[in-house]
Amino acid sequence: MSEQQPPKSPTSRRAFLKAGLTAGGAAAFAPSALAGALGGGDPANQPPNIPEWTRSLGDGVAVRAYGKPSKHEAHVIRRDVEWLTASRESSVSFTPIHELDGIITPNGLGFERHHSGIAEVDPADYRLILHGLVDKPLIFTLDDLKRLPRVNRAHFCECAANSGMEWRGAQLNGCQYTHGMVHCVMYTGVTLKTLLGEAGVKPNAKWLLLEGGDSAAMTRSLPLQKALDDVLIAYRMNGEMLYPEHGYPARAVIPGWEANMWVKWLRRIEVGDQPWHHREETSKYTDLLENGKARRFTFVMDAKSIITSPSPQAPVNHKSGLTVLSGIAWSGRGKIARVDVSLDGGRNWRTARIDGPVWDKALTRFYYEFDWDGRELLLQSRAMDETGYVQPGKAELRKIRGVNSIYHNNGIQTWYLHKNGEIENVEIS
Amino acid sequence: MSEQQPPKSPTSRRAFLKAGLTAGGAAAFAPSALAGALGGGDPANQPPNIPEWTRSLGDGVAVRAYGKPSKHEAHVIRRDVEWLTASRESSVSFTPIHELDGIITPNGLGFERHHSGIAEVDPADYRLILHGLVDKPLIFTLDDLKRLPRVNRAHFCECAANSGMEWRGAQLNGCQYTHGMVHCVMYTGVTLKTLLGEAGVKPNAKWLLLEGGDSAAMTRSLPLQKALDDVLIAYRMNGEMLYPEHGYPARAVIPGWEANMWVKWLRRIEVGDQPWHHREETSKYTDLLENGKARRFTFVMDAKSIITSPSPQAPVNHKSGLTVLSGIAWSGRGKIARVDVSLDGGRNWRTARIDGPVWDKALTRFYYEFDWDGRELLLQSRAMDETGYVQPGKAELRKIRGVNSIYHNNGIQTWYLHKNGEIENVEIS
């Protein structure tokens, strides 16, 4: 489903924002604020009627051998942007991160990015070839991969182009579109180190080529050092086999590195002594700087965060009072150490509450509960990782990288909370 | 889908098993064993053809706004057993645990157990009433619940009747049926402690009644102490809103305790000074002992484990060589500390490798890799939790509890691996 319109220029809003917003009216969360905020009262005075669904039998088991969400959640879907690419076979559909919580992305909602559509692989005919600078070239069937020791690891997967439209200013009105090219699932698979150990790597080996089984034959060069560190050849996500759009029956998982390298429908691994300089690491997935030169091999995804609720697609539905701000943070360099939030466009920061597992190179969930006084706010979040890296502001980032880039925009995002509860994607200087 | 036939008597197999199996031929896993085990060879001699899916464009994005598994995984579904209950509205469909790995159960595959079918709740009309021995009775809308601080916690949910058919001997040929009334997802919700804090609990309060919005009006008594410890009112599972069959839009999560208490479509919480003695804690969910007395309020699920692969529905597809044994373990008393496996029916035990997160009252994944010599084996697993509790043998359990029970069978399960790779559910004495 496509709903997003082409971006409008955000410049007209800026002057107003600078002038119109005070330092923010948020107070610390106090449980006592809830009493007034809730609509409840003495149930003796307001007895809920016995609802319709308590008056009759519901569907029995086996009606839904594979379950699905309630019909009332039909709006929680991946969405694409028709004008973004030439065809749907080489396009993106975005994770509805504004409608999710916690850190696990359900398998049916993780963003898709294909270069020639979804390869429909028959698992019986699946083969993974491992050759090049190895002692013994090998071909693995899917059953072969399943006979090797398995590991289970949850990692975020983020497209290098996530937030790419925002380089030149506030563009897309919803975090599904600005930050929805990320998901996080628990993978089961075999380490690439195990496969390489079976084949035996020659002493002069330094790089690997990963090739997909799609008709783009997606190819990326991967340093051997990373391959031996934490790369997986995964065949399961959240317990079940990979979905077709995520590379069924096997894909590469390159923790913390740009998703383009996580080759899907993985068909071939070649071991060599230098990178291959294929299309996706020269013409694409490089960052054109202001001086006309381009950064290359920018594999690592820098620390980043986004407030998923409230956000443009998830407005505030009350006029004031207790409000939960929720978001996700992640870093390609390790664990998230801290997340700060600001309600006044970065003038004052408060430390958010992190809840749920904090894993290496995985989504981390943060919250900030506050008593909203109904005034306008400028909401921001800022991630810090265990290496000490701090998520930069957009202005800071543009000073170094300019605005020609598509990839690797991890700048701080600003949501403008209006008095009526609506949220707008804005830029503040 | 129903495939399981009514159980046959297992007694005829026992004598054979006692006599026919040696001490087991398993050797420690050695990576070198793989070379012979894999079907691979020099790819120059066996080049895989360019497969069909690499020759044409696949489906583009947005064709599947909510993704689903590959058509080749259509057999990975919940299954019920038609003869088990009087109607499908009061029945069970089992998690296909033999087809899953890791510790997260996908939302569409978690077992169902209903008492009057699936209540189809309209979230706009959802209300949760909290009353009884409280200072201030409250009614919460779904939006109210979402305005309270959230937590994210993964827990197993196991029906007390899981493995219930096995009390009198090996009955059902597949762990989906013997152990498939368990799942594990990450919940997002508000703690019950928070809700009780808002209402204010009277000094003489000791028990709570939880009531569901289904037409069974499922009711269970819950000690206040547990409610204040770790109980959640959850509205999300694995990030997205609960599926209807799991209690949409809100259910109780009672970590480590029998699933019947995890009231779905939660409609009412009453605070009182003693338990209510309703149907599901008197006529049902009590354990009839040999002496004619029944155990009551047996809330905690004891430590348990099951080998999910190989298993009757997941046979071994090779004749010998490297083999991965995989399973799940869990305990209602805390974390799993260790899992042992036996290949010879419990004569010799080896410590399994635990991989993935080890959480409090959650599924824990274990593996044991071995070089199968092609001989018959009797596979068992045995869980130990952090309190020192060790999963008992079935004989041990029957000595204390007899065979009249339906609930709380956590005895060690035995799989008989035949030479042809097939697996049978057996009993050994």
Contact A101 B236 (CB under 8 A): yes
Q: Do residues B198 and B323 share a domain?
A: no
Query: Under an 8 A CB cutoff, do B88 and A239 touch?
Result: no
Q: Which of A91, A100, A244 sits opposite B240 (nearest CB)?
A: A100
Which of B66, B136, B149 faces A109 most closely, judged by CB atoms? B66
Beta strands across the sheet bearing B414-417: B350-351, B336-342, B377-385, B414-417, B423-426
Residue count of chain A, please give it.
429
Q: Would you call A81 an interface residue with chain B, using a CB distance cutoff of 8 Å?
A: no
Residues linked to residue A190 through DSSP beta bridges, in sequence order: A233
DSSP-derived pairing of the beta strands A232-237 and A207-212: unpaired
Last residue of a domain, one of B295, B315, B340: B295
Q: Which of residues 219-258 of A touch B (CB under 8 A)?
A: 236, 238-246, 248-249
Among candidate residues B256, B260, B127, B138, the one with its CA nearest the CA of residue B196: B138
List residues bridging with A383 in a β-sheet. A339
From chain A residues 155-184, the ones with a CB under 8 A of any chain B CB are none
Task: Inspect the interface and report whether the beta carbons of B239 and A186 lie closer than 8 Å.
Answer: no
A325 neighbors A310 (Cβ within 8 angstroms): yes
Residue of B nearest to A328 (CA): B239
The label of the residue with tokens 């036996």 reads B342
Cite the DSSP H helix spans in A166-315.
175-179, 192-199, 224-229
Q: Is residue B121 part of a domain?
A: yes
* Whether the Cβ atoms of residue A246 and residue A107 lie closer than 8 Å to each other: yes
| A104 min Cα distance to partner chain B (Å) | 5
Tokens of B75: 């057999």
Q: Which domain holds residue B410?
A: 11-28+300-426
CA distances from B163 to A340, A355, B172 (A): 48, 34, 9
How far apart are alpha carbons B377 and B416 in whole angstroms?
A: 6
DSSP string, B137-185: -EEE-HHHHHTS--EEEEEEEE-TTTTGGGGGS---SSHHHHH-SEEEE
CB contact under 8 A, B54 and A149: no
Binary contact (B186, A236; C-beta < 8 A): no
Chain-centre distance for alpha carbon A83: 21
Do B23 and B120 lie in one domain? The reply is no
Interface contact B123-A51, CB threshold 8 A: no
Rounded Cα–Cα distance for residues A181 and A175 (Å)? 10
Q: Which of B240, B269, B324 has the most A C-beta neighbours within 10 Å, making it the best mutation to test the interface with A? A: B240
Q: Strand pairing partners for B371?
A: B27, B322
Helices and strands (H and E) in chain A: how many = 7, 25
* Number of neighbouring beta carbons within 10 Å of residue B370: 22
Both tokens assigned to B36:
């012979």
Rounded to a whole number, what is the distance in angstroms from the first to the last CA of chain B? Answer: 34
Smallest CA–CA distance from A243 into chain B, residue: B69
Measured between CA atoms, the residue of chain A closest to residue B122 is A72
- In this structure, the answer to whether residues B384 and B325 fall within a common structural domain is yes
- Check whether residue B275 and residue B422 sit in a common domain: no
**Residues A162, A318: Cα–Cα separation, whole Å:** 31
Does residue B166 sit in the same domain as residue B211?
yes
Q: Which of A68, A425, A51, A132 is nearest to B107 (CA)?
A: A68
* Residues of B whose CB is below 8 A from A46: 139
Residue A198 in contact with partner chain B when CB distance is under 8 A = yes
Residues 95-154 of A with CB under 8 A from B: 99-110, 112-114, 116-123, 125, 127, 129, 131, 136-141, 143-144, 146-153
Are B269 and B360 in a shared domain?
no
Phi, psi angle pair for B370, to nearest 5°: -150, 165
Residue A64 lies in a domain: no
Cβ–Cβ below 8 Å for A150 and B367: yes
Kindly report the nearest CA distance between residue B249 and chain A, in angstroms.
Answer: 9
Chain B residues in contact with A51 (beta carbon < 8 A):
121-122, 125, 213, 267
State the nearest Cα–Cα gap between B37 and chain A, in angstroms. 8
* Closest chain A CA to residue B123: A72
Q: Is residue A402 part of a domain?
A: no
Same domain? B368 vs B264: no
- On average, the pLDDT of chain B sits at 89
Q: Do B55 and A123 make contact, defined as CB atoms within 8 angstroms?
A: no
Give B-chain residues touching A355 at CB under 8 angstroms: 150-152
Instruction: Kindly give, in sequence order, each residue whose CB lies less than 8 Å from that of residue B74, ignoring residues fewer than 6 positions away.
Output: none
Mutate to test the interface with B, among A55, A128, A238 (most CBs of B within 10 A): A238
Q: Would residue B65 count as lying in a domain?
A: no
Of B136, B242, B324, the CB nearest to A147: B324
Same domain, B199 and B304: no
Domain boundary among B295, B322, B342: B295
Residue B8 is given by DSSP the state P
Tally of CB atoms within 10 A around A123: 16
H or E element that contains B266: strand B266-272
In contact, A265 and A214? CB cutoff 8 Å: yes
Instruction: Look at the block and give the residue holding tokens 């190179």.
Output: A361
Edge-first strand order for the sheet with B112-113 is B79-80, B92-94, B112-113
Does residue A288 lie within any of the structural domains?
Answer: yes
| Residues of chain B below pLDDT 70 | 1-48, 62, 429
- State whether B291 and B315 are in the same domain: no
Tell which residue, A304, A296, A375, has the closest CA to residue A333.
Answer: A304
> What is the pLDDT at residue B82?
80
H-run or E-run covering B235: strand B232-237
Neighbours of A346 (CB within 10 A): 15
Beta carbons of A365 and A102 less than 8 angstroms apart: yes
In A298-357, the residues whose Cβ lies within 8 Å of chain B are 317-318, 321-324, 326, 353, 355-357
A120, A139, A365 ranked by CB distance to B58: nearest? A120
Quote the CA–CA distance of B342 and B350 in Å, as a whole number.
Answer: 6
Q: Tell me the β-bridge partners of B153.
A: B187
- Phi and psi (nearest 5°) for A235? -120, -5
**3-state class (DSSP) for residue B326:** strand
Contacts of A140 in chain B (CB under 8 A): 38, 40
* C-alpha torsion angle, residues B294, B300, B303, B305 (rounded to 10): 90
B62/A214 touch (CB, cutoff 8 Å), yes or no:
no
DSSP, collapsed to helix, strand or coil, labels residue A234 as strand
**Looking at the 3D structure of chain B, how many domains does it have?**
2
Q: Which amino acid is at A113?
A: R
Residue B325's Cβ-count burial label (10 Å; 0-12, 13-18, 19+) is buried
Residues of chain A with pLDDT under 50: 1-3, 6-47
Least CB–CB distance from B46: residue in A78, A139, A365: A139
CA distance A112 to chain B (A): 7
Nearest to A70 among B43, B153, B241 (CB): B241
- How many Å apart are CA A389 and CA B67, to the nearest integer? 35
Same domain, B225 and B347: no
Same domain, B285 and B393: no
**Amino acid letter, A20:** G
Does an H or E element contain B396, and which? Answer: helix B394-401
Test mutation, B38, B61, B215, chain A, max A CBs within 10 A: B61
Confirm whether A105 is domain-assigned: no
Does residue A198 fall inside a structural domain?
yes
Residue B358: how many other CB atoms lie within 10 Å: 16
Phi first, then psi, for residue B124 (nearest 5°) are: -65, -30
Q: Does B203 touch chain A (CB under 8 A)?
A: no
Please enumerate in sequence order all residues whose Cβ is within 8 A of that of B37, keeping only pairs 6 or more positions apart, or say none.
A144, A147, B318, B321, B322
| B92 falls within a domain | no
Kindly report the CATH number assigned to the domain that includes residue B205. 3.90.420.10
Alpha-carbon span A70 to B171, nearest angstrom:
35
Q: Are B61 and A88 in contact (CB under 8 A)?
A: yes
CATH code at position B23:
2.60.40.650
Q: Are residues B291 and B358 in the same domain?
A: no
Place of tokens 């783009």: A216
| pLDDT (tens digit per residue) in A264-323 | 999 999 999 999 999 999 999 999 999 999 999 999 999 999 999 999 999 999 999 999
Give chain B's length. Answer: 429
Of A194, A231, A230, A184, nearest to A329 by C-alpha is: A184
* C-alpha–C-alpha distance, residues A354 and A337, integer Å: 9
Beta-carbon separation of A39 and B139 below 8 A: yes
Please identify, among B235, B270, B295, the residue that sits at the C-terminal boundary of a domain.
Answer: B295
Q: What 3-state class would DSSP assign to A303?
A: coil
Half-sphere exposure of A57 (CA within 13 A, CB side): 12
CB hemisphere CA count around B374 (13 angstroms): 5
How many angstroms separate the CA of residue A11 from the nearest CA in chain B?
32
